[in-house]
């Protein structure tokens, strides 16, 4: 299996090189050269544990990691909780009926967010490859809230990796920041940027696009620009479908996904392209609705980042959108480069209707504003006694609007305890993994919104 760039000019690379490179050499994003069709394997996968299913899917994307090694890495990644690591439930991602919807609980990992399901594996794959090569690595990531703490949980304390996390100063929840900044490990460096998440992501991409800087400091990526992270996220779509009642109408389900950076939605899109029986993929945004507007109008237009109760979705430039764009434009690197160039220079680009490959109409979209998000949290608490975090609430609200005759699975992306300010009055949302964070010493460095300043800080640590 080889991986190709969405920009079309970088050379194809094998799985292990795609893992370590993160971004493609030409500035594009890496994608599998082809997608396996697993539709004929679905029935044989019923009853598999989460790690067994993950191995079956991921093994189809690599031919340069021995099967026994990959199986062991996957098993360790989804192990039961112990000493603050691992998952709180042997199911890893329980599927829970909630009225006429289903919740796929993706928040049972070390940092109580869906990012753990990919980053626990990614961290072990990094460690495996570095031990094999005897090299070291500096992992750079940008986070709107949850990726940073999940990356730190996966990589903290490792002797062959430093992890640098960029996050927007004052724009994550208090507990999201504390999950990052209270990590005491010497290899963890938290960098608060005086700007938005889009600024953090822009800085990260600028440093990856500086070939000399990237090579000199051996940069690797944990954001969903790393295609291996997306492949790990594909697994829980299959896991959810396999746990639905087997007598589904037409055998299909729909999935509602709260999103800002388009990574989680694109993982679902890949699952459908691989043969998962999916009727619709419901893209749910908050007021930062660049993606909703695109799927309604074909126009991708940058706006001002708005602060909302769902901070991990406060994004206007969705980095994984380029992967969908590549597929939508018939995998033509030249067309992708032209679209992204127009967007970078004008803040707007468009795709004309017609000529789309099969599957384009599977994605539908909607949005929920602040009031609708908080009202959804309140309504479902009064109805079911269950508290939704504000990101999941966006997905539930849009799912209610766009539901059809087939079951709809709503991705529950974070534990509500990470966002106590949005919980209904009287609701108990605490979690043992969050208790006592306020009492721990915190470390971060605050830097201006400038790629050069971030680069100099990284150099000062690594030199």
- The 10s digit of each residue's pLDDT in 302-335 is 999 999 999 999 999 898 999 999 999 999 999 9
Task: Give the model's pLDDT for residue 80.
Answer: 84
Task: Give the model's pLDDT for residue 64.
Answer: 93
pLDDT at 123 over 60: yes
Write out the catalytic residue numbers: 115
Between vectors from CA 318 to CA 280 and to CA 377, what angle results, nearest 5°?
60
pLDDT at 346 over 90: yes
CA-based max dimension of the chain: 60
Question: Higher model confidence: residue 120 or residue 145?
Answer: 120
What pTM value is reported for the model?
Answer: 0.94
Mean pLDDT of the chain: 93
Task: Give the model's pLDDT for residue 432.
Answer: 92
Task: Give the model's pLDDT for residue 83.
Answer: 57
Confidence grade of residue 193 (pLDDT, cut at 50, 70, 90): very high
Average pLDDT over residues 126-138: 92
DSSP 382-439: HHHSPPPPHHHHHHHHHHHHH--SS-EEEEE-B-GGG-GGGSPTT-----TTTTTGGG
Q: How many CB atoms lie within 10 A of CB 277?
A: 15
- The 10s digit of each residue's pLDDT in 27-36 is 899 999 999 9
Task: Give the model's pLDDT for residue 84.
Answer: 61
Can you give the residue ranges of every domain in the chain?
A: 95-109+228-422
Q: Which two tokens stand for residue 148?
A: 């940073």
Architecture of domain 95-109+228-422: 3-Layer(aba) Sandwich (3.40)
What residues does 193 pair with on adjacent strands? 168, 447
The whole-angstrom separation of Cα 204 and Cα 192 is 13
pLDDT at 249 over 80: no
Task: Give the model's pLDDT for residue 463.
Answer: 84
Task: Give the model's pLDDT for residue 222.
Answer: 84
- The 10s digit of each residue's pLDDT in 365-376 is 999 999 999 999
The whole-angstrom separation of Cα 306 and Cα 309 is 10
DSSP 138: E
pLDDT at 398 over 70: yes
pLDDT at 173 over 70: yes
CB within 8 Å of 271: residues ≥ 6 apart: 234, 237, 238, 278
Task: Give the model's pLDDT for residue 82.
Answer: 61
**Least confident segment among 60-64, 83-87, 260-264:** 83-87
- The 10s digit of each residue's pLDDT in 82-119 is 656 789 999 999 999 988 899 999 999 999 999 999 99
pLDDT at 228 over 80: yes
pLDDT at 289 over 90: yes
Average pLDDT over residues 241-245: 95
Task: Give the model's pLDDT for residue 354.
Answer: 65
pLDDT at 355 over 70: no
Average pLDDT over residues 433-443: 94
């Amino acid at each position: 299996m080889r991986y190709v760039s969405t920009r079309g000019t970088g050379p194809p690379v094998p799985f292990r090189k795609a893992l370590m490179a993160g971004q493609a050499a030409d500035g594009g994003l890496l994608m599998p050269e082809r997608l396996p069709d697993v539709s004929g394997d679905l029935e044989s996968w019923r009853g598999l544990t989460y790690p067994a299913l993950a191995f079956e899917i991921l093994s189809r994307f690599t031919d340069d990691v021995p099967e026994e090694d990959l199986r062991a890495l996957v098993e360790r990644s989804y192990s039961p909780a112990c000493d603050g690591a691992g998952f709180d439930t042997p199911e890893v991602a329980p599927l829970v009926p909630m009225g006429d919807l289903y919740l796929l609980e993706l928040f049972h990992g070390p940092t109580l967010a869906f990012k753990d399901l990919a980053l626990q594996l990614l961290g072990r794959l990094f460690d495996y490859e570095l031990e094999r090569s005897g090299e070291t690595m500096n992992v750079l990531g940008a986070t709107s809230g949850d990726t940073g703490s999940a990356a730190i949980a996966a990589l903290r304390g490792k002797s062959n990796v430093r992890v640098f996390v960029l996050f927007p100063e004052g724009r994550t929840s208090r507990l999201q920041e504390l999950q990052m900044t209270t990590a005491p490990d010497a290899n963890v460096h938290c960098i608060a940027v005086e700007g938005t998440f889009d600024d953090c992501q822009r800085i990260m991409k600028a440093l990856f696009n500086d070939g000399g800087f990237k090579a000199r400091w051996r940069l690797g990526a944990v954001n969903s620009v790393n295609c291996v992270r997306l492949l790990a996220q594909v697994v829980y779509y299959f896991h959810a479908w396999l746990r639905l009642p087997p007598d589904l109408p037409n055998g299909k389900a729909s999935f509602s996904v709260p999103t800002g950076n388009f990574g989680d939605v694109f993982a679902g899109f890949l699952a459908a392209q691989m043969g998962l029986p999916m009727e619709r993929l419901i893209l749910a945004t908050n007021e930062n609705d660049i993606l909703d507007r695109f799927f309604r109008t074909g126009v991708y237009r940058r706006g001002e980042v708005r602060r909302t109760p769902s901070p991990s979705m406060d994004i206007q430039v969705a980095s994984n959108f380029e992967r969908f764009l590549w597929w939508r434009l018939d995998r033509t690197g030249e067309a992708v480069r032209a679209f992204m160039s127009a967007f970078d220079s004008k803040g707007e680009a468009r795709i004309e209707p017609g000529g789309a490959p099969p599957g384009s109409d599977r994605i539908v979209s909607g949005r929920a504003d602040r009031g609708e998000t908080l009202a959804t949290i309140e309504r479902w608490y009064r109805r079911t006694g269950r508290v939704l975090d504000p990101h999941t609430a966006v997905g539930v609200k849009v799912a209610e609007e766009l539901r059809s005759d087939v079951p709809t699975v709503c991705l529950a992306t974070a534990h509500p305890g990470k966002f106590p300010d949005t919980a209904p009055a009287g609701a108990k949302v605490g979690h043992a993994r969050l208790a006592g964070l306020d009492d721990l010493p915190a470390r971060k460095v605050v830097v201006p919104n400038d790629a050069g300043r971030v680069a100099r800080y990284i150099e000062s640590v690594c030199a």
